Amino acid sequence: MSFGDHLRTTGSALKNWAVAQLQDSLAVGALWLVGLYVLHIPWAPVWAVLAALLQIVPHLGPILGLCGPLLTAAITWRDWQHPVGVLILYAVIAALDGLLLQPYIMRRTARVPVWASIFAPIVLGILWPFWGVLLAPPTRHLPAFLSLRHRRSLPASSTSLEFLDSRFPKYESQVRLRPALLPPIHRGGIFYDHSTT
């Protein structure tokens, strides 16, 4: 691949990440709006829009989005039940977003596997504490796009062992060829290999 192809692949991955992040922000804003209306928190639409905008900031944004509704609940109601309700709402939204919404949206929009959406921030956070966690959301999309681009650039017969034999001729006698690595055929309780059918 040329340098221009790498730039296009990276740009496409980051564009899809931005689209997925926008969809995630809108979903989180809608959850905040419904939850704050249920809790009767004043200025619920303002706090929901602010939470949606701050959702784009990784890891710190959702916490900043919590501050406004929490202070409003404490000042307006002057009890402990409403602020605790806002904290529970935040916990539910964070759990739904981290375990369901983001992996689903990232997989559907940016073609990122669910396991990568969950484990990329953890692994990058261990390897490179502050910057790894900060850069994990956009960078977890690049490996999926690079592998997709690589698969598209291979010849059509690249999934068969014949393609490997053309690349590694000295191993040709050691490998039993099977057309396109097709799974065995199941007929009447007996599995047949394609080379025997």
Backbone angles phi, psi at 185, to 5 degrees: -90, 135
Flag whether pLDDT at 170 surpasses 80: no
For the range 149-156, what are the long-range contacts, defined as Cβ-Cβ under 8 Å and sequence gap of 24 or more? 149/1, 149/5, 149/9, 150/1, 153/1
Flag whether pLDDT at 87 surpasses 90: yes
| Overall pTM > 0.95 | no
Beta-ladder partners of 197: none
pLDDT of residue 12: 82
Measured distance CA(102)–CA(104) in Å, rounded: 5
Flag whether pLDDT at 67 surpasses 90: yes
**Where are the chain's structural domains?**
3-148, 159-192
Secondary structure element (H or E) that encloses residue 127, with its range? helix 114-127
Q: Which residue has the higher pLDDT, 4 or 111?
A: 4
pLDDT of residue 146: 60
Backbone angles phi, psi at 187, to 5 degrees: -130, 115
